[in-house]
Each structure stands twice: as C-alpha cells, then as structure tokens.
Structure 1
Amino acid sequence: MKAELKLITDLFGEFSPAEYIPVNDDVFHITLLLGIGGVDSEAMDYFDVSICTLEWVRLNNVKPVILNNTILVDNYDFNEILKYINECINLCDGKNWHEVANNLSKFFLWEYDRYKTLSAVKE
C-alpha cells in the first residue's frame, strides 16, 4: 500500500503554507498539519511536522534537545519543503494502512501515535 499527501495547512488553519512569508527568514518556526492517506482512498489521517531554522532552535531551546517530527531548513522555500515531505511519504509503504501510518510516524507526528484503546489502558 502506498500513501499520498492529500492536505497541507498550518496547524491552526490560519494561513496557507504556500503563501507564508516568515517575518525573519533566518529565525522562524511553523507547524504544518498534513492529511495523508492511501492512494486508492479518500480517507486520511493527520500528521504534524514542524518546520524551523537552526537559529530558531538555538534561540528557543535549552540544550541538549531532541528534535522529533521537525524539518530543519535554512530558509522558507515551500516548494522544497513540499518536495521533501513527499519524498518522506514515498518511503513509507506497507501491507495495510496501519503499517504505512506507523512508518510515516517516524517522520511526522501521527494523530494516533501512542494511542491506546480504553480496554488497553484498563489492563
């Protein structure tokens, strides 16, 4: 099974990532919401990914720091970011959607990451 990007927006739906222009191209951080689903389906799950510069990390984090679900860039180039996101998605296939989504969660924060059903929590 293969996946494809079906939606890309900022986390809160306030602006279009394709039209976003950072106030400072050297120091910025945004979080994108990605809707990703199987190529043969209209359904999608949501994944988050942060986009930021190394200088933003230096100014806003106590060291040491682990950067999960983050793409470091030198500047905001939406086309390059979109290309990279699609390259990551293309690396993630599997026998079923759950396997694909688990592979995607190595790059992006999956909405069901660490999800446990109520019955699993009670055990």
Structure 2
Amino acid sequence: MKAVIKECYSTDVDDLFDYKPDAINGFDFPLRFVIGPKDALGGECFDVLVCNLAYFQNKFPPGEVIFGRHLLIVQQYDFNNILDFVAKYVTSLEEDTWDALANKLARIGKWEFEDYRPYTV
C-alpha cells in the first residue's frame, strides 16, 4: 500500500503559496497534511509546525534544550519546496496495511489517531 497527500492547509495562513513570513524575527505556523491510501478516497490528518531557525533563536534562551517532534524546519520559506519535500517522503513509503503506513507517517507529523485507544466498557 502506498500513500499520497490529498490536501494541505493551515489554519493560520490563507494562501500558502504567496505567504511572506518574517524570516528575520522568526516564523511558525501549523500545517496540516491530509494523507490517505493512493487508491482510495479520503485520508487522515498529520500536523506539523513549520518554522525557521530564527523562530528557535527568538523563542528559547541560549543553552535551552527542547524536543523537536513534528517540526518542519526551513531555512527559507518556499511552499513548493515544502510540498515537494513532504510528498517525496510520503510516496517513498510502502506497507501492507494503512495502520502500518500511518504509523510511519506519524514520525513526521502528529497523526490524528496517535495514541488512540478504543473505548471499552
């Protein structure tokens, strides 16, 4: 089974292609990828935070140690490059089941079903 990006959007940026972030002072915004099986309808959400290095320099004091899960760090903002980069990763994966594939995709973006546990009575 292979996956593809079905949709991509941000709740903070209306036009991802024409967005002009503040590269000097740093920028960050949430980006959602809807990814699903190549030969099926629909997909599931995988969220990342897009940011640049200046974002870290301005947000955290020198010497601060942080975790960096579900981050997409760019030197320069170019949405075409971001989309191509993520699409190459997504299409490079192959698994027997959607669950196995989604768990690999969850390495780069927070999967909407990450840590999901079915309700039991």
- Displacement of 1:88 in angstroms is 1.7
Q: Could you say what secondary structure the match of 1:72 adopts?
A: strand
* Residue 86 (str. 1) matches residue 55 (str. 2): no
Q: Is the 8 A contact 2:2 2:95 kept in 1?
A: yes
Q: Which runs of 5+ in 1 are unaligned?
A: none
- Displacement of 1:13 in angstroms is 6.5
* Residue 2 (str. 1) matches residue 26 (str. 2): no
Which residue of the partner structure matches residue 110 of structure 2?
Answer: 109
How does the TM-score come out when normalised to structure 2? Answer: 0.89
Q: How does 1:69-80 map to 2 (within 5 A)?
A: 69-80=70-81
Question: What is the number of residues matched between the two proteins?
Answer: 118
Residue identity (%): 25
Which residue of the partner structure matches residue 96 of structure 1?
Answer: 97
Q: Is the 8 A contact 1:33 1:49 kept in 2?
A: yes
* Residue 58 (str. 1) matches residue 57 (str. 2): yes
Which residue of the partner structure matches residue 31 of structure 2?
Answer: 32
Query: In the superposition, relative to structure 1, how do residues 73 and 8 fare at CA in structure 2: closer, same or farther (>3 Å)?
Result: same
Q: Deviations over 1:4-52 (max 9, x none)?
A: 0010000x26512222221x12311111011000110111000101111
- Displacement of 1:75 in angstroms is 1.4
Aligned equivalents of 2:94 and 2:59: distance in 1? 35
Root mean square deviation of aligned Cα: 1.6
- Identify which range, 88-97 or 34-43, moves more after superposition: 88-97
Q: Could you say what secondary structure the match of 2:9 adopts?
A: strand
Q: Is the 8 A contact 1:88 1:107 kept in 2?
A: no
Q: Which runs of 4+ in 1 moved over 2 A?
A: none
Aligned equivalents of 1:100 and 1:58: distance in 2? 34
Which residue of the partner structure matches residue 42 of structure 2?
Answer: 43
Q: Which runs of 5+ in 2 are unaligned?
A: none
Q: Could you say what secondary structure the match of 1:95 adopts?
A: coil
Q: Is the 8 A contact 2:12 2:30 kept in 1?
A: no
How does the TM-score come out when normalised to structure 1? Answer: 0.88
- Identify which range, 90-99 or 41-50, moves more after superposition: 90-99
